[in-house]
Structure 1
Amino acid sequence: MDILTLEQLPQGGFAGLKEKQVVTDSRVFGGRKNALTSEGIGNFVYLADANFLPYGETGMHPHREIDVISVMVKGRISHAGSLEHGQSLEAGSVQVQRAGGEGFAHNEINPDETPNQMIQLWVLPEVAGQVAGYQVYEPVEGERTRIYGGAASESGPFSSRTMIDVLSATKGQQTQHEGEVLAYLSSGSATINGHELSAGTLIRTNKLEFIANEQSQLILVFTD
């Protein structure tokens, strides 16, 4: 099992937010990749743990041929852009934007006078030239929710062989995973494969045994 914590990574940021990049896959970042960061898995290529400053925002910027997933951990975000302008995300909410060949532009804004926390993930699409799309998920406390990947369907997550689940764990809740997985503990604390770990920890393992020591949020990325 490989363990990477935020304490091991340099502080970065842009516009109105501070962030630490945890996953920067060489396929996308090449020579710009920080050697301390993790590689991805499947088509998953990027993870950043960001804190927006009071009233901070990313600024309007475009994406094309990338799927952008935003997992709110603390606080709120007001979403502006070419997809679902005006959407608001509360703590625990997940926003999934598929750029496709059409592309989209967006600006994420902290509407409050206190910092927030958001995890951003990028996944490369398996098929180029798709239409842009937008989804919001509200994972339920005590449940593990698929927010990305799996077989194509009219009402489910965007299809991909790379899958992302979000577990909103209650104290004592357990989950397991067989096979290679990247798991990011974005809030709380947990015992993972016998190790006591706190928020801001990325784990790469071929078998995951997770027990929440308190209310926690775990993001799991894996392939079929």
Structure 2
Amino acid sequence: MDAGSSGHDAEGGPVSGQMVRHGTGVNSNRAFPTNNYPANLDPFVLFERFYIDSDTGFPMHPHRGFEIVSYMLDGGMKHEDSLGVSHTACEGDTMRITTGSGIRHSEFPADGAACNGLQLWVNLPREKKDVDADYADASASELPTNEYDGATVTTVIGEGSPIELHTPMEYLDVRVTDEWTWNVPTGWSGFLYGISGSGTVDGESFSEGDVLPVIDGGAVGVQTASELRAVAVSGQPHDEPIRQRGPFVL
């Protein structure tokens, strides 16, 4: 499609993510909710890129009422939880936690080296808020990667991925070298988030740390003169209020 025309329903164009410092000393670039985009994107509660230094991390803490997807970009992160799971995810690996009725977990850099990655919180529908807590992970080699003219796409969640959630959704890691069209199903919400490089989305400048919210499906044209890496995340809204209270989504 013509990257200068918009086939999606979004509240304006791209906005910049906001730096957030967590109480444990971890820094993140948050896509939403922020001062620039002070809303959730049903079914998504929040999304951010985290940077865990060698001497920081998240000690054991509780969660309930949603699902967590962590996707590693660089380095390793060790996860331990109250289910007895102990697992280290490295570059290209992903972990999914269903917090459900309640779980406790910790996240620290592996082997004393800094790491960074992406974390997404996905709301659970009202009737599933109290499901049993659960955990799953997948290595980079288990996630399908496809080559297209102008882009390479890895499916973190979606067709061919072993990771599933209680919410119908898709999570793509996309390396655009020319142009690529992101097609979001009608009625779904989602966002495009820049990891590295620069380019345009529907003709507007887009680079690392930028986010384009999409609220009712459609097509988004992505172009670059060099390389732009981004994640494209979309899902079916629950059409229920998202009530976040710190580590809980009620």
Q: Does 1:218 align with 2:228?
A: no
The percentage of aligned residue pairs carrying the same residue is 19
- AA aligned opposite 1:50: F
Distance of 1:83 and 1:214 partners within structure 2: 41
Distance of 1:4 and 1:112 partners within structure 2: 35
One of 133, 143, 153 as aligned partner of 1:143: 153
Distance of 1:200 and 1:159 partners within structure 2: 28
Distance of 1:55 and 1:168 partners within structure 2: 31
1:65 Cα deviation after fit = 1.3
Going from structure 1 to structure 2, the CA distance change for 1:182 and 1:140 (only over 3 Å counts) comes to same
1:111-136 Cα distance to aligned partner (Å, 9 max, x none): 25553212221111112221112122
- AA aligned opposite 2:208: A
TM-score (norm 2): 0.71
1:16 Cα deviation after fit = 4.0
Q: Which residue of 2 aligns with 1:169?
A: 175
Q: Which residue of 1 aligns with 2:114?
A: 115
Distance of 1:108 and 1:75 partners within structure 2: 13
Q: Which residue of 1 aligns with 2:195?
A: 186
Q: Larger relative CO (CA 8 A, sep 6+): 1 or 2?
A: 2
Answer whether contact 1:67 1:96 (CA < 8 A) is retained: yes
Answer whether contact 1:53 1:114 (CA < 8 A) is retained: yes
Distance of 1:129 and 1:36 partners within structure 2: 33
Distance of 2:231 and 2:52 partners within structure 1: 20
Distance of 2:191 and 2:212 partners within structure 1: 6
- AA aligned opposite 2:132: V
Distance of 2:219 and 2:166 partners within structure 1: 24
- AA aligned opposite 1:169: R
SS of residue matched to 2:118: strand
TM-score (norm 1): 0.78
SS of residue matched to 1:42: coil
How many residues are treated as equivalent by the alignment? 206
Answer whether contact 2:16 2:36 (CA < 8 A) is retained: no
SS of residue matched to 2:59: coil
1:158 Cα deviation after fit = 1.6
Greater gyration radius: 2
Q: Which residue of 2 aligns with 1:62?
A: 62
One of 170, 189, 200 as aligned partner of 2:209: 200
1:173 Cα deviation after fit = 6.0
Q: Which residue of 1 aligns with 2:165?
A: 158
1:47 Cα deviation after fit = 1.4
1:20 Cα deviation after fit = 3.3
Going from structure 1 to structure 2, the CA distance change for 1:14 and 1:41 (only over 3 Å counts) comes to same
Going from structure 1 to structure 2, the CA distance change for 1:5 and 1:62 (only over 3 Å counts) comes to same
Q: Which residue of 2 aligns with 1:30?
A: none
Structure 2 residue ranges without an equivalent (≥5): 1-11, 146-151, 238-250
Distance of 2:190 and 2:175 partners within structure 1: 18
Q: Which residue of 1 aligns with 2:135?
A: 134
Q: Which residue of 2 aligns with 1:105?
A: 104
